[in-house]
Structure 1
Amino acid sequence: MKKILIVEDQEEIRELIRVTLEFDDYQIDEAPNGDEGLSKVSSFKPDLMLLDVMMPGGLNGLQVCQRVKGDPALKRTKVVLLTARGQEADKQAGIKAGADEYLIKPFSPMELMKVIGKVLR
């Protein structure tokens, strides 16, 4: 069973993602901010992080992504950044941080599942 960690500060979006993923065979954990997400990724060891870029306080998604991708113990963890920022410069910043994919909000459940399927192949 694949493990997915949802790191998103908006509870409604976390719930939408969780409900979408519950139809498939995933083990899901959640974190409401970057600091807690970084803490959970070390213990949960997900196959995939769905990571919001803009979160209040502490670490933002780009910083969390850089730390995860820089940790040899987490090198298998894939990261999909979720953000409302859709400019090319924003995408490049995400790729530079090490993201495997970049999904722009708002996204449909079908779009999310397509990206997850691609990343977890």
Structure 2
Amino acid sequence: MLNILVLDDAVVIRSLLRLTLTSDDHVVDEAQTVDTAIEFAQSKSYDLILCDFMLDDGETGLDFIKAARTESLNKNTPIVMLSAEDSNAHRDILKTYQVSAWIKKPFTPIGLLRVIYKVLNIDYKESKHALFTEVSKA
């Protein structure tokens, strides 16, 4: 069981992430804004943080990452960035901001779990996720 923080302004994406992660027996805290995510990160240690790149009101996931890397209990927590964008410039962010992985939206539940387990160096048992496997193949 992992403790995971999710930062995404879209309720549909947060719901999909929560469903996928809790179905895999993980505990999920959700934040819609950078400020809320910072509050979570300052009060609780996480095994992983999933963070949207483009947020509402001109905020970006980078605003959160800058704060999390300096002002929280999660300075070294792996962060996986989620985004509809995928370019070389965004890939440079991986190095600059110590982002562990970049997942392009839309993604499948199985694809998400594979990336999470790879980032955390945990063996991934796909057979455990028969429902997601069938949905992903449909």
Question: By how many angstroms is 1:71 displaced?
Answer: 4.4
Partner of 1:97: 97
Contact 1:63 1:97 in 2 (8 A): no
- Does the residue aligned with 1:74 lie in a helix, a strand or coil? coil
**Distance in 2 (alpha carbons) for counterparts of 1:23 and 1:57:** 31
- Does the residue aligned with 2:23 lie in a helix, a strand or coil? coil
Say whether 1:57 aligns with 2:49. Answer: no
For residues 76-115 of structure 1, the aligned pairs below 5 Å read: 76-115=76-115
Say whether 1:29 aligns with 2:29. Answer: yes
- Does the residue aligned with 1:57 lie in a helix, a strand or coil? helix
**Distance in 2 (alpha carbons) for counterparts of 1:81 and 1:111:** 14
Q: Which has the higher strand share?
A: 1
- Does the residue aligned with 1:81 lie in a helix, a strand or coil? strand
Which consecutive residues of structure 1, in runs of 5 or more, have no partner in the other structure?
Answer: none
Q: Which has the higher helix share?
A: 2
Question: By how many angstroms is 1:9 displaced?
Answer: 0.3
Question: By how many angstroms is 1:64 displaced?
Answer: 1.2
| Structure (1 or 2) with the larger CA radius of gyration | 2
**Distance in 2 (alpha carbons) for counterparts of 1:7 and 1:114:** 19
Contact 1:47 1:76 in 2 (8 A): no
- Does the residue aligned with 1:21 lie in a helix, a strand or coil? helix
**Distance in 2 (alpha carbons) for counterparts of 1:100 and 1:79:** 6
Query: For the aligned residues, what is the CA RMSD?
Result: 1.7
Contact 1:4 1:29 in 2 (8 A): yes
Aligned AA for 1:84?
Answer: A
- Number of paired residues? 121
Identity of counterpart residues, as a percentage? 34
Runs of 4+ more than 3 Å apart: 70-73
Partner of 1:118: 118
TM-score normalized by structure 2? 0.80
Contact 1:4 1:48 in 2 (8 A): yes
**Distance in 1 (alpha carbons) for counterparts of 2:38 and 2:79:** 12
